[in-house]
Amino acid sequence: MRSTRSIEILCLVLAALVLIWSGALAAEMWPVIGLLAAFALAIVGFRVRGFLPNRSRVRLLIESWSMVLFITCVLWFTGKSGSPLFNLYLLPIILSALTLGRLVTLLQVAAIAACHVLLAMTTPGVDVISLFYASQVVGQLAPFLLVAYLTTTLSADITEARERIENLAQNDSLTGLYNVRMFNEMWQREHEACEHNGGTYALLMIDMDKLKEINDVFGHEAGNSALLLVAECVQRSIRQSDHAARFGGDEFAVLLPGASHEVAQAVTKRLRHNVYKTTLDLRSRMIRCSVSVGVVCYPKDSRDMRQLRSLVDDNMYRDKELRGHPGAEANA
């Protein structure tokens, strides 16, 4: 992560400047140089491509705790518990809060408090069991706890917002099914995979019957309820490996990977049955919905995606015409 590297470099630069200005470098040159060099090498090592490539959380844990250790060593050379660099601990706390969650961050604050006590025990004239020291520790650590809490809360809000944005980019806002763009991407991938590996799939186009009449008589909220009913029936009628989408308006689509024509027809029959048996209560009237369905199979009907889309639309409208005859819904 670029932000992690920036935090580590900032920590290294600030520590180096204070070590030079405070005279610690002149007093204990080689230990200080060794400490700075070790952390600089660690930063480079963390950026190596092969360093835990598939375990980013573990890598962040190591980086964050390495910063805590480095800062503790820097404090040892710059005044221990009274060091002006004590607030450098805020950097790993912010890093943990943004990337590792509240529990790890609180554990880190507790470890920093323990480091403060250990450093104070080695500082001449500091009584670690006195009320004065206790009040000093509380005053120094309280902002850390506040920063940890606020940053983890902000990070959670950002994550939730990002998930909502991603969901809006992939899913229809009313039904929760995939939207047209996402469905077409999945269909394209499935089509290419079948062309390469010789597989099969089926495509269903579904149109809800008489949605305009429901909207005109009962209002658009009733129409939305009817669309939700159909969407739920679609989801109940397919497998977990299948993909369903709303194409806008009263149209839905289903992709059935690996399905034959017989499987697609069985899904169609199950879908019709689920929709018809689920009634919609509108102003104390029980309304039965129905759907018209078109089915095509790859490669049986065509190997071309455009032609498959045209065929499935034609089949759907042909089914709607047939089901427009009296008694069509009763035979669902």
Kindly report whether the global pTM for this prediction surpasses the value 0.85. Answer: no
End-to-end CA distance of the chain: 56
Distance in angstroms (rounded) separating the CA atoms of residues 90 and 135: 19
- CA separation, residue 180 to residues 173, 186, 202, 280 (Å): 12, 10, 17, 26
| Signed CA dihedral, 60, 61, 67, 70: sign only | negative
Distance in angstroms (rounded) separating the CA atoms of residues 167 and 320: 32
pLDDT reading at 287 higher than 60 = yes
**300 within 8 A of 209, measured Cβ to Cβ:** no
Least confident range from 25-34, 115-124, 248-257: namely: 25-34
Average pLDDT over residues 96-123: 89
- CA separation, residue 170 to residues 24, 163, 186, 288 (Å): 57, 11, 11, 30
Summarize pLDDT for 139-179 with one digit per residue, the tens: 888 988 898 889 888 888 887 777 777 666 788 888 989 99
Summarize pLDDT for 238-276 with one digit per residue, the tens: 999 999 999 878 999 999 999 999 999 999 999 999 998
pLDDT reading at 329 higher than 50 = no
Query: Which among 271, 262, 269 is positioned nearest to 300, based on CA atoms?
Result: 262
Domains of the chain: 2-169 (no CATH), 180-331 (3.30.70.270)
Percentage, residues of the chain above pLDDT 70 = 93
